[in-house]
Chain A
């Protein structure tokens, strides 16, 4: 078995899809909350005209966290003409729904309404938008914000999602390259969750890693189309480190800055500390060096041991060489039929 097979096993372990069993309770809770939110907003005269997932669930880049909550980013949209001038007004309605349903820590944050459902390890964010002619505006403001800090702010939530899901820049086997990009994002997220302290890990925003990876992604397929996630990850990290995201502050200190590629084009790490930037830079550098060692290593078991140190125990180490080369069990692609281009 190749090291690529080991990477795919690892990916299967860490990926979190909306249809996964582990996600079932959270998904049911999400559906239930959405129903209640829709009813409450409608009752108040702000019928929901659209809802959609945002965040990693919408881009298939979500990972299971070894200990922390499942995240749900559920956007709701009301019509521009129905929307109140005060965006916090609709956020309060959503907050009440969450409080009534027993959520702990339900509160209004600047970009969304958020809450935790501790028994399900569920963390939910509900951004609220108003829409007119395809233009979305995000409800900005906290519970007690004054008028200056409350606004319907221009936003492009679908644009960001589409940008991440785009395969327009990949030539040949574009779908497979997009899949490799998403696996790369998941590997980076799992690495972050394992290698950073819980205090810092929350400051290494997933969307920040995702945007950097997307902008600097280096697909790796050999001439026969065989993928190498190991080399793609290494090359992508190398490109990120050389990609002007880290601004030197002197004395080997860095601040990280990553702009959103879509409206409102703000810096995702705005306000991020030097400590966060420095740690991220140093750990990415270390990761790249370790991946170089893995690439240079010829033995699959030794490669797996090194990768286990990077990604944690979900990256399994075969117990012996014989195990490593044991005949693979036949697995089949999940498609029942595939169109072919062959003739003779």
Chain B
């Protein structure tokens, strides 16, 4: 721990009015200053070790009015203001020079306070921008959390269902308020028990859109007045509907869920009302006499809220993708595309999930003996709650149906069968099917994997990746491959029909992620020309098995870089 006297001396030498606590028991220093004529006092409790940005708290925060980035907390019966300087984990602190670290932190604390005190417009903007986190400051965190599956935020009265008994975690531990316009996947709905047959009805919630909002109250005591003032910001026609329809139902419990646009986007917050006897919804000071009011934490669960938070793209939700191949690479692709926000994913594969697949496939053990495609569809709907993924046992060549294929924005082929893939490509050419296609595969012994994106409207096609680089004729092996053709790369543990190519889950995942990246960039229109991409692994295992590698392998240094696919000697492209 830094010596307190040394710290006081240091800060004083930097022109701070710094004193140590007169009580030796507490290693506390106080820094007094004036901002725009307002006296400010910051206190700092010395710690044994500096593990993050040193913390200064605002003494008597209520004297400074409502300041952005300042929240009030109780410290041994004393109100202190916690100042949010920035994400404390995002700074690298010089713990070897604690005096400098504390001084720098003090300056940052003062800067943020100065900004809030001297620039009221900025202060209000920030208070609104951080409405959600400020709201949590007045929430009763002991209350059961509310999960709202609403999409639009329009005025609506909805049922609130209680948590399932004895459920202390997972979605079944939440109060559930489900809007009529929820579009959760069928599997998710089943899993969430979002109907009254499983959960009991707790009461009614009313979703109310606001046209504006004041900054969140600082204390719970202010909630009642703050609520009544907020009602001013309801559109007149909604207010009329509230008075005449939604608030008439008498109940001992009500939830009001507001939503309003703030500088950081749409924010949602919830108030819970409880009365001894049944009353209609309190909308006036007089009606409020019957009710106790609490702010409770609300978790909005709609795709507009959840998907961007996870890095998914809402624009992808309407794109239709066919994935042929639900093996270890296809499974990875299905997972990554769904996590990116693709909902309409049709998965095709005739294969069944077996014990042999367990260690390199994304599906868990409970899907054994089930069709891989159907298993993936089920799993994706369960994990990605708006996914409409579905499985089919059809093979690539049985999909040679122009009308069906034309219904997709993108077709992804992950079957590792060059013969079928070239046959399918010939069908697409002959029948003028101009849907973009990604073909992806990986090679044995961990040497790498590849993906091609064939956009019919641009130069370059799958067959460019099959131009024999020695004869310039249409070849049988991809010229992207790292392993020379006509070598025995299979491992046979149990006789005919039991051969397999040696690669692990890491290789499948790497290939699947690479192909998914290509697919997403195409669907987001970041790639508009036919492209290819490869990743290169080590040659340890190939060398151990005397496997000959191609010139491309030895020269390749563009792993994961997307390159043009077109080969000027491809007859199909010419």
Enumerate chain A interface residues (CB-CB to B < 8 A).
1-2, 4-5, 8, 171-177, 179-180, 219, 221-227, 325-333, 335, 337-344
Contacts and interface: CB of A to CB of B under 8 A. Distances in A.
B551 interface: yes
Contacts of B553: 172
The 6 A-B residue pairs with the shortest CB-CB distance, nearest first, are A344-B416, A173-B551, A341-B483, A225-B552, A172-B554, A338-B476
Interface string B410-425: 0000111110000000
A335 B478 CA distance: 14
Contacts of A176: 469-470, 551
Contacts of B549: 172
B572 interface: yes
Contacts of B471: 8, 331, 333
A341 B489 contact: yes
Contacts of A5: 472, 569
B339 interface: no
A2 to B, nearest CB: 5
Contact of B474 (A175, A332, A340): A332
B479 interface: yes
Contacts of B473: 331-333
B474 A343 contact: no
B21 interface: no
A331 B469 contact: no
Contacts of B482: 341
Interface string B536-574: 000000000000111111111110000000011111101
Interface stretch (B26-34, B321-329, B383-391, B518-526): B321-329
A342 B414 contact: no
16 contacts: A4-B569, A173-B550, A173-B551, A219-B551, A223-B552, A226-B567, A327-B574, A333-B475, A340-B476, A341-B485, A342-B441, A344-B328, A344-B415, A344-B416, A344-B417, A344-B440
Interface of B: 325, 327-330, 414-418, 440-444, 468-489, 500-501, 503, 511, 548-558, 567-572, 574
B109 to A, nearest CB: 54
B572 A330 contact: yes
B568 A331 contact: no
A28 B476 CA distance: 35
B463 to A, nearest CB: 9
A174 B553 CA distance: 12
Given A172-B555, A333-B473, A340-B485, 10 more contacts: A172-B551, A172-B554, A174-B548, A176-B469, A226-B479, A227-B469, A328-B571, A332-B473, A335-B476, A340-B418
Contacts of A171: 551, 554
A78 B487 CA distance: 39
Contacts of A326: 574
Contact of A223 (B443, B503, B557): B557
A341 B500 CA distance: 10
Contact of A331 (B330, B548, B571): B571
A225 B469 contact: yes
Contacts of B468: 333
Contacts of A335: 476
A176 B557 CA distance: 21
A338 B486 contact: yes
B552 A344 contact: no
A339 B487 contact: yes
A339 B418 contact: no
B574 A172 contact: no
Nearest to A331: B473
- Tell me the dominant secondary structure on chain A's binding face: loop
Nearest to A174: B548
B444 A327 contact: no
B472 A327 contact: no
Contacts of A337: 476
A224 to B, nearest CB: 6
A160 B337 CA distance: 58
Contacts of B574: 1, 325-328
Contacts of A225: 469, 479, 550-552, 555
B552 A224 contact: yes
A341 B571 contact: no
Contacts of A2: 472, 568-569
A178 to B, nearest CB: 10
A177 B555 CA distance: 14
B474 A331 contact: yes
A59 B115 CA distance: 84
B417 A342 contact: yes
Contacts of B480: 224
Contact of A328 (B415, B443, B475, B569): B569
Nearest to B439: A344
B481 A342 contact: yes
Nearest to B548: A174
A307 B568 CA distance: 20
Given A221-B469, A343-B501, A333 B552 contact: no
Nearest to B324: A344
Nearest to A183: B470
B555 A344 contact: no
B161 to A, nearest CB: 44
A174 B554 CA distance: 11
Nearest to B511: A344
B490 to A, nearest CB: 9
Contacts of B556: 223
Nearest to B443: A341
A341 B501 contact: yes
A173 B484 CA distance: 7
A221 B572 CA distance: 23
B441 A344 contact: yes
A344 B485 contact: no
Nearest to A337: B476
Contacts of B477: 338, 340
A243 to B, nearest CB: 24
